[in-house]
Each structure stands twice: as C-alpha cells, then as structure tokens.
Amino acid sequence: MTEYDLAVIGGGPGGYTAAVRAAQQGMQVCLIEADRLGGTCLHRGCIPTKTWHSTARLLSQIDQAAAHGIKLGSLSFDFGAAAKRKDTVVDQLHGGLRQLMKSYDIEVFRGQARIEQPGRIAFRRPGLTGRLQARHIVLATGARPVRPAVWSVDGKNILTSDEILGIQGLPSSLLVIGGGYIGCELAAIFAAFGSRVTLVEQQPDLLGNSDREAVALLTKALHAQGVNIHVGTAIDQLTVVDGRVEAQLAGKGTSQVDKALVAVGRVPNSDGLGLEELGVELAAGAVVVDEGMRTSVENVFAIGDLTGGPQLAHVAAYQAGVAVANALGGNEQVDYNVVPSTVFTLPELSQVGLTEEACRARQLAVDIGRFSYRSSGKALADGHAEGFVKLLADKSDGRLLGATVVGEQASNLVAEIALALGHGLTAADVGRLIHAHPTLAEMVKEAAEDVNHLAIHRPPARRE
C-alpha cells in the first residue's frame, strides 16, 4: 500500500490548491475526488455562473447600442449557444486542472473517500475499491445546496443551483427562492436572458450581510431589469402541477411559473467520510478547526466550505496554504480581516473589510468617503453611470477599515482597496497615489480624498 506525505480529499479550489502547494514543497501527494476536478466552483458554481454573467452583461450593453449611435437589426438570443459556451469554458479549465496535477506528479484517484483509521483512507467507485496511507490528511469536500424536504426538490421542476446550471432550455418564468448572492446572481442573469423572474426572500432585505446603501441601489436595478422582488415573504407551499410549479406566497397569493430555483443555503459535505468514528469534532455538520485549520484529530486538517466559514473559493485556497504550511511543521494562522467578495449581479456589488453597518455595531468612529459613478468621466463615457465607491476610515488615524463598491467592474476595483487594507494604509495614502485618467480606478482615489474632504469633485463646504 502506497504511503503519501499528504492526501487531499476533495478536488475543488481548496483541495487542488493544497495538493499543489504540498507538491511544491517536495511532499508526495495524492488527491481523491468523488466527481470531477474543480469541484462545485468549476462545475456548478463560480465559473458557469460567471460565464453566463458575461453573456448577460453583454446583452445589457447591447441594449445601450442606440445611445452610442449603433443601429442593430432584430436581436435574438440563443440560450442553447450560451449554455454550450459555458460548458466549453468549464471543460477547458477542467482540462487545465488535470494537466496541472500531472505536472506536479500528484496522483489523482476518483472515488468516494472514507477515513477508516488514522492515516488510512479507502476510496470507492463502482467496480473498484482502493486504499492508501497518508501521514497528513486535508479534508476539502466542500458543501452542497440545501434541499428542503417540504418542497420536494426534484431537480427537474424545482431546482437547486446544481441543476439550473445544467438546464437545457430557457424557462419563460422563474421563481428564485432566496435573496443571498446565489439567488440574486441567477435572478439577474435569467432576467437578462429574457425570463420573467420573481425573487422571494424571507428576511426583510436582500443580501443581509451587505452594505444597505449598496443593496438599495442593487434592488432598484433588479426592479428596472424586470425582477419582481418580494422581501419579508415566506413560501407557504411549493408544488408541481401539470409540469409547472405553483408557489403559495405568504399573504400574497399563488404564483405559477415554469421553474423554481431553491437557493436557501448550503450544507457541509461531512457525511460518509468516517469523521465521527475517527473523532473529528463537528458542529451542525461542519468540521471544527482552529486558526491553523487543524481539526481535533492530529494530522487531519480541514478547509473551505466544509468548515462552515466564508463560502468563497478564494478563502478555501487561502486556507489551503495555511493548512499545508502547518502540516510541514509551521504555525501559521488564518486572518479574515481582508476578504474581498463580489456579488455578480448587474451591476456588481463588491466589499472588503467592514461595512458601514458593522462599524456602527462595533461603535467605531469612522470617516466615510464616497464617489459616484455619475461623476466619473470614464463611467459616463462607457455608459455605466450607476453606482458608487464608499470607503470607511478610522476617524482617529485615517486607517482604512472597509469598502463597498457597487457598479461596473466593482470586482476589479475592490482589489486595490483590499491591498490597501492588507497593508494598513490610510485614506490619505491611497489619495496621494497617482491614478491614470480617465479610468474607473480614479474613483477609488476620489473616495479616499473625500475622506479628508480633499476631493476635487466634492462641493465646497458651506460657510456660515
């Protein structure tokens, strides 16, 4: 039986990053994946949704063609072609991952893994059972969509994000249940594709952990795109009648649609791994880890969605580096103070660090700098005048604490701010940097200068 220095269970962004990082350090590594390399992110999450988001964004830009003096003939949208393009992108990246594993001599086993005893793993698939030994194990099995039994999620009429990303035809009407980032992204995408979309959220607002000012702008944009939004609304009943979905909205009557998407959360994939028998501590199905990504069992680490933390691919990849370093004898600890995130709607909403509401809850005295897309020459030239940049700085020393960007290319603009937060820069530090003109990135500089009331485009303070 082959003994490896490190065995990784799960081949998503956290898992394959852990495998590569360990191989780069000279460890003999294997990776066990039950399905396909890349995990949820590549096959049922980040990449397919963002490929569709790119298509949706292009469709929204075409709507502005007349304003640019471009006259188009009749416009048609081929959903099948868009779905094929999505699959092509996924397949290309999947092939690249397989080659990456080969280039680092990482042995990949396909099958469902189970830890039989410390350091010993069995993996099974139809017609094959294999076993291996490993001195260290990294658990990276991710999470899966919640499927409420009361709604009889059948994967055909009532879908999760797993199934809707493989849907063969464009539904004429779609009910999205859940106003988190998955629900909001897919609502925006399918509305752009031409579906009549209804978005229902039980909580009082969409995107509950996001900046309220940004969410208000995004909600208005979704309404303008034709999304019918119901917040503070529960689904009393969800049934399939004659191939269509009937939803009873609490206090708001019955809605009948072609398809329903259930996007009400995700649950860690901790079952079937033999963790309880091994003595790995679990909490609500998530693997409990310390700040070094260690579990309660020696030489067993866990990363990514499995741990119940931020469900972001880039966080899982970051945790992978910490886990591998500690498997090699280090003592690294995770730091989640600077974690950028983006909701890929139209427009995008990105955040890093603290929100204005979080600062208020912590009773932090802050200065706030803002800059509107409507005051940006580049945003106006591009035809994307909706949105703003908001920076939060500690009132005592000007150190940046957080930022929200909602608007075109927010996902790119937030990167500069994340770098500034990570290095403890002040708003004045960012404001002094020369930014190219005309660019959207100038808005970050302008917002930084606005913290100290130095922005060129800020109206002068009134004199008494």
Q: Which residues are annotated as a binding site for NAD(+)?
A: 178-185, 201, 265, 305
Select from 362, 276, 358, 352 the least CA-distant residue to 310.
Answer: 352
Q: Which residues are annotated as a binding site?
A: 50, 178-185, 201, 265, 305
Q: How does DSSP classify residue 399?
A: B
The DSSP line for 338-367 is S--EEE-SSSEEEEEE--HHHHHHTT--EE
Angle 147-231-371 (CA atoms, 0-180°, nearest 5)? 115
Question: Which residues on neighbouring strands pair with residue 390, listed in sequence order?
Answer: 370, 404
Greatest Cα pair distance in the chain: 84
Question: Roughly how many angstroms between the first and final C-alpha of the chain, as a whole number?
Answer: 83
Distance of CA 236 to the CA centre of its chain: 28
Q: What's the rounded Cα separation, in Å, for the pair 388 and 327?
A: 43
Residue 437 known to be catalytic: yes
Q: What's the rounded Cα separation, in Å, for the pair 139 and 281?
A: 13
Q: Is the peptide bond before 340 cis (omega within 30 degrees of 0)?
A: no
The DSSP line for 409-440 is THHHHHHHHHHHHHTT-BHHHHHHS---SS-T
- The alpha carbon torsion through 123, 12, 22, 132 (nearest 10 deg) reads 0
| Token code pair at residue 38 | 């890349």
Kind of pairing between the strands at 235-241 and 244-249:
antiparallel
Q: Which residues are annotated as a binding site for FAD?
A: 50
Which of these is catalytic: 223, 423, 437, 457?
437
The alpha-carbon radius of gyration of the chain (Å, integer) is 24
Q: What's the rounded Cα separation, in Å, for the pair 118 and 137?
A: 9
Select from 157, 314, 130, 330 the least CA-distant residue to 247.
Answer: 157
Asked if 391 and 417 count as a contact pair (C-beta separation under 8 A), the reply is yes
Q: How does DSSP classify residue 3?
A: E
Residues with a catalytic annotation lie at 437
